[in-house]
Amino acid sequence: MRLWTLLLLFAAGGCASLGAPPPVADDCAALQRALADAAGGSPSSPRPLPGFPGLAADRFLAAFDPPALAAPAQAAWLGRLAAAGAELDARRAARVAADVGPPLAPLSTLPGRLSVCRATTLAGVPDTPDGLARVHAAAQVPSEYRGGARVAGLWPLTVLPVLATLHGYQRDTLARFAAPPPARGERLRYRPPAASLTKLAPARDALGVPAPTPAQWTVLFARHAPVFEVDTASADDLPGRPLRGAAGRPTVAPEPVVYRWGGYAFWQGRPVLQLDYLIWFAARPAEAGGALYAGALDGVIWRVTLDADGAVLAYDSIHACGCYHVLFPRPGLRLRAAAAALAEAPLLPYPAPPLAAGQRVVVRLGAGHHYLEAVTAGDASGTPYRLADDAELYAARGAASLFDADGLVAGSERPERWLLWPMGVPSAGTMRERGRHAIAFVGERHFDDPTLLDAWLEPAPAAP
Residue type for 14, please?
Answer: G
Task: Say what the pLDDT of residue 197 is.
Answer: 76
The residue-averaged pLDDT of 323-343 equals 97
> Is the separation of the CB atoms in 126 and 78 below 8 Å?
no
Residue 42 gets the label, from left (phi > 0), alpha (psi -120 to 50) or beta, of: beta
Residue 281 has pLDDT above 80, yes or no: yes
DSSP state of 352: P
pLDDT of residue 97: 83
The predicted model gives 54-62 an average pLDDT of 97
Cβ within 8 Å of residue 45, ≥6 positions away: 58, 59, 141, 433, 434, 435, 436, 448
Q: Is the pLDDT of residue 10 over 70?
A: no
Give the C-alpha separation, 214 to 50, whole Å. Answer: 29
pLDDT score at 3? 39
The residue with greater pLDDT, 128 or 192, is 192
- Res. 17 pLDDT band, cuts 50 70 90: very low
- Assign 13 a pLDDT band (cuts: 50, 70, 90): very low
Question: How far, in Å, CA of 204 to CA of 216, rounded?
Answer: 13
- Tens digits of residue pLDDT in 367-378: 999 999 999 999
Whole-number Å distance between alpha carbons of 186 and 161? 36
Q: Span 134-153, mean pLDDT? A: 96
% pLDDT > 70, the chain? 93
Residue 420 is which amino acid?
A: L
Angle between helices 25-39 and 110-123 (to 10 degrees): 130
Residue 126 has what pLDDT? 87
What sign does the dihedral 31-33-38-42 (CA atoms) show? positive
**Contact indicator for 258, 275 with CB cutoff of 8 Å:** no
Let me know: does 111 contact 88? Beta carbons within 8 Å. Answer: no
Burial label for 451, CB within 10 Å (0-12, 13-18, 19+), is: middle
Q: Which of 241, 316, 228 has the alpha carbon at shortest distance from 275?
A: 316
- pLDDT for 4 beyond 50: no
Encode 55-64: b = buried (16+ Cβ within 10 Å), e = exposed: bbbbbbbbbb
First to last CA, the chain: 52
pLDDT at 16: 39
Cβ neighbors of 140 (< 8 A, separation 6 or more) are 57, 62
What pLDDT is attached to residue 200? 85
